[in-house]
Amino acid sequence: MKLKPPINLAWIRFTSCSGCQLMLLNCESSLTELARIVAIRDFPLASSTLGKNAEIDIGLVEGSITTPSELERLLAFRRKVHLLVAVGACALTAGVNSLVRGERRQAMTKVYAGQGDDWNTFPPQPVDHFVKVDGQIPGCPPEPGELLNSIGTLLNGGWAGHQVMPVCMECRVNENPCLLERDRAPCLGPITLAGCNARCPNLGVSCEGCRGVVAEANRDELCRLFLAAGLTEQEINHRLERFGETT
């Protein structure tokens, strides 16, 4: 169903860095046009407006859920939102916040030294562990064009298409040498969803999997390549944990 402008748009943030919001605001040349068709009801980096009682046509959610109070806010937001979109790695997979999953107690004790163990938090969780998510925009942060295309197609009753190939294919298109085979680097490109134009491998940096796992990923072959590169099973598990997986 096509939405009739101006549509009510809200963007709320949970445990994250606000980088996803900032990426949309960096689309300076498109913001004037976007402002003509959306009415901001809640968007911390863009406006001080707080539409607490307003019905929301499109609700964008950034960040992982880590506390009971965040969960309460998410549930309340879901009840008044027509279409809820999870934006960025933290909202989709718990992202960077989940990378100390196996050492969480040690990390929390260090961060909150002297405050006891009453942290009132739980391990970071993606948004769809708690509420229905109507759409997803991957990335850490998402690509600017992907954000604009997704909002634009939602306004017209559709959903933007996304890549279905792995980052490795973008490396081939860009004629990048394979970091995994050449440098024995722990690159996650073989099982990571494309769409970033291989940003990190273009710079000689291993893919960290921030866009999430590609459909029909060949995990067994990736593990074989990691073992051939000299990684231990523990190191491989640590790499795969960002997707919520282990060997």
196-202 long-range contacts (CB < 8 A, ≥24 apart) are 196/139, 196/143, 196/167, 196/170, 197/143, 197/170, 198/167, 198/170, 198/171, 198/174, 201/167, 201/170, 201/171, 201/174, 201/176, 202/174, 202/176
Write out the CATH class of domain 7-155: alpha beta
Percent pLDDT > 70 in the chain is 93
Measured CA to CA in angstroms, residue 42 lies from 32, 39, 115, 148, 189 at distances of: 18, 9, 33, 18, 35
Is the model's pLDDT at 191 over the cut of 90? Answer: yes
Contact between 21 and 11 (Cβ < 8 Å): yes
Q: Is there a contact between 104 and 123 (Cβ–Cβ < 8 Å)?
A: yes
* pLDDT score recorded for residue 78: 96
Q: What percent of the chain has pLDDT over 90?
A: 63
The pTM of this model reads 0.87
Give residue 51's pLDDT.
66
Give residue limits of the domains in the chain: 7-155, 167-243
Helix-helix angle 219-228:233-240, to 10 degrees? 140
Average pLDDT over residues 8-21: 94
Identify the residue with better confidence: 115 or 45. Answer: 45
pLDDT, one tens digit per residue, over 125-181 is 999 999 999 999 999 999 999 999 998 888 888 887 778 899 999 999 999 999 999
pLDDT tier for residue 121 given thresholds of 50, 70 and 90: confident
Residue owning tokens 């046009």? 33
Per-residue model confidence (pLDDT) at position 97: 81
